[in-house]
Chain A
């Protein structure tokens, strides 16, 4: 296992020497401990120098698990955040599995903290108990009278560094059920002053991302892929590429999906790939325009639903005093993380290989590379690197880019490491988009302004069908990720019916920060505002009136009230208007007030966003605030002006100039308030995104149009 998050650490290689107490878990979940990290897959290692190393089973894309899981370990042992380091776990789906996913190691669904909270605290508490037992034996004190404070064992004479006792502790049995600290004892969990552990290396150039892997003698491979989804290689001519200095060779991948160009360096690979002449077989390629795909989705909303997700007796809508109706269209979206996709495969001395990768779901590429390279699982190692963002893109069920690298490596003599590099254009045009979706919603209101009926139609391409995740995400034909946030809303909605139609595959699709909630929250929350307006009621009061006594409804109401209070709801400064939205996703509740100046005709400027979040126990409050800030920016940035379009099946966008990212001037201050909670931690990486776009839309609609077609610039909204 490499300490590979910084250049210095990477160069030093395995720097775990001196670890003498390791605590981990056996496959059956029981605690295991000892003095040899090679025998126990640890969650924590402690050296004789007292340094604690947390082993992080989740990858770090900026969302904070390296700091968060280290906080849990440090808290339970009793060390400061300056006394703990972290390493990323190797791939091992039995030990480092995501408890929310089953026997599968991976990060997604905003589960990193929620599934690790007890597990990591337990490992830390076991280490603490063993050190205290060893200290008690050494000093003759009673273990119950001892404590570990800032890395010093106290309670038996002069405080002594805990490192003094780790060798003796390693000889002890791990406790079966170590006692966890109580919230009253916490000094780190919930502490807003805890800083990120990766700030320094990300500010001085030391941080090592997958793109930064430079192994001796490595080749860079870039792929020429078909212009349309479904195309394959017919033939290629590399005459011109051969003139590029540094070009090594070109070869068609065994699956015919692309031509790999191998070169001595990245620039040569880029030039040689451009110089390649490839004939494509487009017999089975996608040839539709995105306007046609959109028309098919919108037509599906008016036909009978394929699946009745929630079915209500017909009737309530007929009795409504008035009906509010709106259709919505959500385009294809690219993730466009700043680090283009990449990974590196090298041969090991034992006949196996190591994959160096910002691996979001290590189990996927682990299994895929084992098959492609015909290696047993234990001969495939994964070295998880930092990654420059993902937003879901690095978690393809097909392990798409790792498979490409595996195939590209497989057809070499396997002596030289192969680094697969995507360009920005590859990333923008390479599929795996947030699928396009349409919604058509009709809300019936009584004469008193209460909801009496809600017909909600959804159409779009399923993300989960045809993937290994189908078995738990699809029930009775309904892909839950297509309707989440609508069919399971905490709102009390009488006369609620929800229908879903899966549309024909247009491109490869994928979860994109907050998955189905990217479109369902928008439709729900814009409709709530439209209904409130039609009923002549305040949007906050109207929502609260439809939030009942359930725990979820009450938590949702609480964030709504807090955001309204902190955002001075109803009392915008002169020249500004506000919009509000609230949504539950990934177990967390977020409400946001967006305050804008200007208007849709002359240019909207987003001045301020006030957020309230309930994500259970707030382990790292400042990381939580950062994730809400980022989630808001990610959501708003895309609905302003971004979409992926197809002409004849070919993606029209190439690079950032035609998929313009959110820029600093686009958005003003974002303020986040956290609801104190004793509930178990829930998601934070994604929940900030869903309410941001509808809150903006609701602000725009205060003095302008209801925006039903995204991105907003396609529906009459200009931005300052």
Chain B
């Protein structure tokens, strides 16, 4: 069936069956590959996108449930001030290793700073708990969020 999808401010008409995860529409149909497939069961966070501003696991989000919603992916998150700050901090601290989880980490981290510009370590742990990094870059992610918070404070 044909569905309308608003992604990164652009309207798309996609052909997908109901029940198709948003993740696979973004990747296989729209060929936007920054959003990653890691587990398929919402336990690693690699597929995190924003739906109406909230970090959402796209592997467990049915396409028909997000018709009409504003969807943002890693490719456009740098256009937000929180996204730009996180990306700057990630580069300053060289957070990444293999990098495969980092789109999802960044999407979650932006969600955190948008809701809570000065998070405590405990706030960071709570919010980022669902984003796994098998390279264990966690302490740099933690430091990156704190650094981005400073950048935003100016």
Contact = CB atoms under 8 A, between A and B. Distances in A.
A203 B142 contact: no
A393 to B, nearest CB: 11
Given A214-B28, A629-B136, A204 B34 contact: yes
Interface in A190-206: 195-196, 198-206
Contacts of B106: 203
Contact of A339 (B38, B133, B139): B38
A236 to B, nearest CB: 23
Interface in B28-85: 28-29, 31-41, 43-44, 46, 73-75, 78
A338 B100 contact: yes
A664 B46 CA distance: 15
Contacts of A209: 33, 36, 99-100
Interface of A: 7, 60-64, 195-196, 198-209, 211-212, 214, 220, 245, 265-267, 270, 336-340, 386-389, 391, 423-425, 622-623, 626, 629-630, 632-634, 637, 655-657, 661-665, 667-670
B113 interface: no
18 contacts: A196-B96, A202-B102, A203-B91, A208-B33, A211-B33, A211-B37, A220-B28, A337-B98, A338-B101, A338-B134, A387-B98, A424-B38, A622-B94, A623-B94, A626-B97, A655-B39, A664-B138, A665-B125
B90 A199 contact: yes
Nearest to B144: A203
Contacts of B28: 214, 220, 265-267
Contacts of B38: 338-340, 424
A31 to B, nearest CB: 33
**Chain B interface bracket (under 10, 10 to 19, 20 to 34, 35 or more):** 35 or more
Contacts, number: 180
B152 interface: no
Contacts of A669: 139
B141 interface: yes
B95 to A, nearest CB: 8
Interface in B100-154: 100-103, 106, 124-125, 128-129, 131-142
B138 A633 contact: yes
Contact of B138 (A205, A622, A667): A667
Contacts of A337: 98, 100, 134
Nearest to A633: B136
Contacts of A424: 38-41, 44
A656 B33 contact: no
A669 B142 CA distance: 10
A633 B137 CA distance: 8
A336 B34 contact: no
B139 A656 contact: no
Contacts of B43: 655-657
B14 to A, nearest CB: 12
Nearest to A620: B94
B72 to A, nearest CB: 11
B33 to A, nearest CB: 4
Given A214-B27, A338-B98, 11 more contacts: A62-B96, A196-B96, A199-B94, A202-B102, A203-B87, A203-B90, A209-B99, A214-B31, A633-B136, A655-B41, A669-B139
Contact of B98 (A62, A245, A270, A657): A62
B149 to A, nearest CB: 16
Give me the 6 closest cross-chain CB pairs, A-B, nearest first: A205-B34, A633-B136, A388-B100, A202-B99, A62-B97, A62-B98
B33 A214 contact: yes
Contacts of B46: 338
B110 to A, nearest CB: 11
A336 B134 contact: yes
B136 A632 contact: yes
A661 B97 contact: no
A634 B133 CA distance: 10
A206 B34 contact: yes
Nearest to A211: B37
Nearest to A207: B99
